[in-house]
Chain A
Amino acid sequence: MTIKILLYAAAAIALFSCVGLVIMKDVNEKLHYLSPPSTVSIFLIAIAIAVREGWSEQTVKAFICAIAIVLMNPVLTHATARAARIREFGQWVSQPHERAEKRQAGD
């Protein structure tokens, strides 16, 4: 029963993220929906494997996989956002008009 709850929760989170990926308009908004499956879902699946198998080779591999994804996915997400911004504006640093808008918003 515990395993089913963990698996179905992981699947639901991943599916809602996929739906959000289609619904959102901007690439930066879509990038947010990469996080739930790569943090919550994969750890729920790894915990389900640990519950079923105990301390075994499969459990270790599943947790190595989960840790690798949790560490690497934010880097990839940031790199993608950076590339999208450079592609749109030509450079990574903020533009003068953007800084002026921020100052006005702060006032």
Chain B
Amino acid sequence: MNAWLVTAFVLMLGLIPCGIVCFTRDAPTRLVGLESASMLMVLILLLLAEGYQRSFLFDLALMLALLSFGGGLVFVRFLERWL
């Protein structure tokens, strides 16, 4: 297991606090937890792509970064108006 995979595993532990925030707090705070988790997932995908030398995982990380922004804005809109 190289340094890239070790770092990816350590960052996966960071998803636990995000999950705690997502499952136990009120709606706006849950959204913050979700945004933090998606940010961590982008980092983890970059590390896994480099650790396993898989080029397509870089595309996945880039797409997740772009789509998590759009998804976050949709959640924000719903939170502001209807939820």
Q: Which residues of A contact B (CB under 8 A)?
A: 3-4, 7-8, 10-11, 14-15, 17-19, 21-22, 27, 30-31, 33-34, 37-38, 41-42, 45-46, 48-49, 52-53, 57-58, 61-62, 64-65, 68-69, 72-73, 75-77, 79-80, 82-84, 86-87
Contacts and interface: CB of A to CB of B under 8 A. Distances in A.
A72 B29 CA distance: 19
B7 A34 contact: no
Interface centre among A31, A45, A61, A87 (most CB of B within 10 A): A45
B32 A21 contact: yes
Q: Is the interface of B mostly helix, strand, loop or mixed?
A: helix
Contacts of A79: 72-73, 76
Interface in B54-83: 55, 58-59, 61-62, 65-66, 69, 72-73, 76-77, 79-80
A48 B7 CA distance: 12
B32 A76 contact: no
A76 B72 contact: yes
B55 A21 contact: no
Contacts of B31: 80, 83
B79 A15 contact: no
A19 B58 CA distance: 27
Chain B's interface size range is 35 or more
Chain A interface secondary structure, helix, strand, loop or mixed?
A: helix
21 contacts: A3-B3, A7-B47, A10-B43, A11-B10, A14-B40, A15-B11, A18-B40, A21-B18, A27-B29, A30-B21, A34-B39, A45-B46, A49-B50, A61-B62, A62-B61, A65-B46, A68-B69, A73-B69, A79-B73, A80-B28, A80-B76
Given A11-B11, A61-B61, A83-B28, 8 more contacts: A7-B3, A8-B7, A10-B7, A14-B40, A27-B29, A58-B50, A65-B58, A86-B80
